[in-house]
Chain A
Amino acid sequence: MSLPVVPSKVHGRPRSIRDCEPGLPNSEIVLNGERVDLCSHSISVRGSPLRLRARRKMLHWKPLRLIPSLLELYSSSFNLPSHYNPVGGKGEVKNLNVDWLIIGGGTAGLSLLRKVGGLLVSRELMGDAWVPWMDPSLLSQLKETSKSFSEHILIGEYKGKFDEGLAIQSGQTTFVVRAKNVAFTNGSRFVPPLFPGNDLPGVASLRLYLRNRAWFNKPVFVGSSDDILRAASLVGGKVIHRKGAAYFSPPAVEDAQRKGVEVIPAEQLVAHGTRRVKSVEVDRVKIEADSIIYGTVRQPRLEAIANFGLPYVFYSKSHVYLPKHDLMGKAGESLVLGGARGISDPFTSALSAEAAVGDPDQFLSLLREREPHLLDYYRGQWSSSPSPYLLGKDGYVCECEDITYSDVRDYMSFDQDVEFAKRAAGVCTGSCQGKHCAFMLGSILESASLITFRSPLTPLVIP
């Protein structure tokens, strides 16, 4: 099995999957009308050899406006699906009323389910709980919960808030849920950093690395989170992080050092290669590698939370966009727990559910020990660090629409926020709807707000 390679939409660059999460760039391709999950299919597709790799601003070139039909020609050169085959079956809509809706079935979600019951929705159970550094006793407790509470669990994709209620797509059925209480335990993700060559196949999230180790033989690890230290510890690799932006906890650093991990602060990273990473340059020093595994920071999957109507802040200390919440995880009338509030350690994540139902002591001491980078958020005061994503002056910001950092910079003299970059340069308007670029660009621009995350959160595909 080799890494899948598919052509990008506009520039026709070779790209690959970075993370198995549905809705992220290149997690799926439509071939001959059928959806192919690149997480489990090692396919290689080449695009048309003719490709216009121009800067975005060329679209605004005045002579071009005299021949508007050129635009149509440009558009038809994109690598896009020719058609979509019918989805089998007969769709139906069902209404549900529940006391508790728990969105996300990972460590925090299952731990809360054990306490409050209700309905838990998840696209796959256990989430991050299968990571190699998971504690076996916690893992078996979660397994036990998912068994004994199986009648409370709905396997499906949360699609967001609508006039009628909260929508969940489960197979052919669309559920519309009205809930008295909502808890977001939908976890977090890692967003790729910015550097030249950051879109090459072989640049992948640590989640994909842990899932498909066979695709990555000689990885270099990049990131500022405990998670990247833990992943690098598995093979004793090098961890590169942006100088001045390291959010490691002391226990994680000690553990990584014991396992032979070398931590290197750097300012510039370049990936070389044509159809996959062949080598890496760190502050002009060449390293042989076939992949760059990133775990930049643990960014909560904020789209669902913001789409629900909860406010968020840019926590510039560790460059995460956090839903506004208190120490107990209360966010307005709702809860945000585990990865959704930026927690990465599995035990702390599980205990965040205990804290939310009134048992905070153990949680608070673990939070202090294992997630110290988050503490200033609760103090309401923090100092800023450089963006952990910024490891080069160019690279792709928006993979779906093939927009580079240079394209964005062309317009940044006007307004420096993500919404403006979206409107002027077209970032965050492609198939992932900003799940990567909004956060990366937001951090680089130190944008107070992102974009409006609209429903559906991932494409609504119905029979």
Chain B
Amino acid sequence: MIVIVGAGAHGLSAAYHLLKRGVRDVTIVEATRVGYGSSSRNVSRYRVYFNDRKNLKYAQEAMRFFSAESKRLNLNPMFYRTGYLWVLGNTVPEGFRRSSSLWDSEGLGGKYLECDQFPFLKTGLGNCYYGPIAGSFHHDYVTLSYYMEVKGTHRFMKGEVTKILASSGKVKGLLVNGVELQADQVLVTAGAWSSNVLSSPDLSIPVTPERKEAYITEDVKFRVKPLVIDLGTGVYFSHTLKGEIIGGVDKGVSGFVDFSTSLSNMMSYLRRLRELVKGIDGIGILRGWSGFYEMTPDRSHVMGFDPQWPEGLFVDAGYSGHGMMMAPLSGELMAKMITEGKVDPLAAPFTPERFRTHKLLQESMVI
């Protein structure tokens, strides 16, 4: 039996792709409810614009896969290309220029232009950079599509996993609410909580939670198509097809803090949003929420296994703010790894042993 710890987008995607490969003996253990963590708290945007080439390649393949998958799934994930727009101001920071030359060398087609060319922005904002290979989707429709597909076949169990059990170098099971559940293979997709599940001295991964907030405004006619990133303030936002403007600030709080929101963050977000976008000077914030970015030291995800771990233990977590867009492909790669025992070349740079062997990625593009 395979046990998946965590019923978020990654766990359910893996469960679905296991089922597609004919694996039916799967139990999914969830501590709260389907999609409780980052899967229901993100702002549902995708991009290929990373600044480590390995992430960029992974994202390119993940977006191709997501696009194809979105045509097959039960619910329409509304995978939709909108582009990303960086507002850079009067000068272009050196670091940003380095990233854009990498994107140029990979043929990702971005370009520098005057922000004034975007009619929804207020005038006089200086330089912008537009990256076209990016867009939006509906996070719940991804998570729930996978859930609906596997619900009839796989078992669901509510409980908290406190320990992975192993003997003579092999996984034997895990403790769910203190009760032993036997398993031949265990996949940990518990997002920010993954490091709690993998917490013994010889089984650990460096994933730490950082709480970030997101907000939506009242409805207004659709106009902000790309995701706009205001580099100077860290404010980012975009229109949803429903009519709200969704976004956030890059300010975070480390640790397992409450999922509350800060009034001052919300107010400074709203003020900056109204400074940037035309015609919404009196708009209000309808709702705010928060969630965890599951950060790793190199701001890149962890997938696969460490050869020093007991055989049959896998992880897929630590996406550092860009996990939702990767969920379809990552689930497929994990299903492949678990059933065929092979690590796909795309996944190889992301295995957990890199933290032990100090082969970290060079990623800093966290949005």
Contact = CB atoms under 8 A, between A and B. Distances in A.
Given A68-B79, A424-B140, A86 B285 contact: no
B288 interface: yes
A79 to B, nearest CB: 9
Interface string B138-175: 00110110011001000000000000000000000000
Contacts of B262: 162-164
Nearest to B79: A68
Given A68-B81, A162-B263, A164-B263, A85 B281 contact: yes
A100 B79 CA distance: 50
Contacts of B206: none
B222 A75 contact: yes
Interface in B61-97: 70-71, 74-76, 78-81
B260 A80 contact: no
Interface string A91-126: 101000000000000000000000000000000000
Contacts of A66: 71
B264 to A, nearest CB: 7
Given A68-B81, A85-B281, A456-B288, A80 B219 contact: yes
B347 interface: no
Contact of B261 (A65, A87, A162, A461): A162
B285 A84 contact: no
A82 interface: yes
A78 interface: yes
A25 to B, nearest CB: 12
Contact of B144 (A61, A83, A424, A461): A424
A414 B270 CA distance: 37
B284 A60 contact: no
B243 interface: yes
B359 interface: no
Nearest to A432: B286
A85 B282 contact: yes
A81 B221 contact: yes
A81 B287 contact: no
A366 interface: no
A429 interface: yes
Contacts of B264: 93, 164
Interface residues on A, range: 35 or more
Contact of B280 (A71, A83, A454, A459): A83
Contact of A462 (B70, B141, B267): B267
A304 to B, nearest CB: 14
B281 A87 contact: yes
Given A423-B40, A462-B270, A456 B285 contact: yes
Nearest to A10: B242
Contacts of B151: 414
B242 A60 contact: no
Contacts of B220: 80-84
Contacts of B284: 459-462
A82 B287 contact: no
B286 A174 contact: no
A407 interface: no
Nearest to B70: A65
Contacts of A414: 144, 147-148, 151
B180 interface: no
A455 to B, nearest CB: 6
Interface string B200-239: 0000000000000000001111100100000000000000
Nearest to A91: B267
A210 B243 CA distance: 34
Given A419-B33, A423-B35, A163 B263 contact: yes
Nearest to A65: B71
A176 interface: yes
A165 B264 CA distance: 11
Nearest to A449: B33
Nearest to B286: A459
Contacts of A86: 281-282
Contacts of B222: 72, 75-76, 80
A216 to B, nearest CB: 29
Interface residues of B, number: 49
B289 interface: yes
Residue with the highest number of chain A CB atoms closer than 10 Å, among B222, B242, B263: B263
B302 to A, nearest CB: 27
Contact of A424 (B75, B221, B241, B286): B75
Residue with the highest number of chain B CB atoms closer than 10 Å, among A61, A75, A161: A75
A186 to B, nearest CB: 19
A78 B71 CA distance: 25
Contacts of B35: 423
Contacts of B261: 162-163, 454-455
A8 interface: no
Contacts of B70: 65
A211 to B, nearest CB: 25
A138 B285 CA distance: 39
A431 interface: yes
A429 B219 contact: no
A375 interface: no
B140 A423 contact: yes
B279 A174 contact: no
Contact of B242 (A75, A83, A163, A167): A75
A454 B259 CA distance: 10
Nearest to B76: A60
B78 A68 contact: yes
Contacts of A91: 267
Contacts of A61: 76
Contacts of B75: 60, 424
A84 B70 CA distance: 35
B337 interface: no
A80 B241 CA distance: 12
B283 interface: yes
B108 interface: no
A162 B289 CA distance: 10
Residue with the highest number of chain A CB atoms closer than 10 Å, among B81, B143, B221, B243: B243
A74 interface: yes
Nearest to B75: A60
A177 to B, nearest CB: 11
B40 to A, nearest CB: 7
Nearest to A415: B34
B19 interface: no
Nearest to B243: A80
A26 to B, nearest CB: 13
Interface of B: 33-35, 40, 70-71, 74-76, 78-81, 140-141, 143-144, 147-148, 151, 218-222, 225, 241-243, 260-264, 266-267, 270-271, 279-289
Given A72-B225, A423-B144, 13 more contacts: A60-B76, A71-B241, A75-B222, A78-B242, A84-B218, A84-B220, A84-B280, A84-B281, A86-B281, A424-B144, A431-B219, A460-B267, A460-B285
Lowest 9 CB-CB distances: which A-B pairs, in order? A459-B284, A83-B279, A461-B284, A86-B281, A84-B282, A162-B263, A75-B241, A163-B262, A60-B76
29 contacts: A35-B282, A60-B74, A60-B75, A62-B71, A62-B76, A65-B70, A71-B241, A72-B80, A72-B222, A74-B241, A75-B241, A75-B242, A78-B242, A78-B243, A81-B219, A82-B279, A86-B281, A161-B260, A163-B260, A164-B264, A176-B263, A414-B144, A429-B242, A455-B260, A455-B288, A459-B284, A460-B270, A461-B283, A462-B284
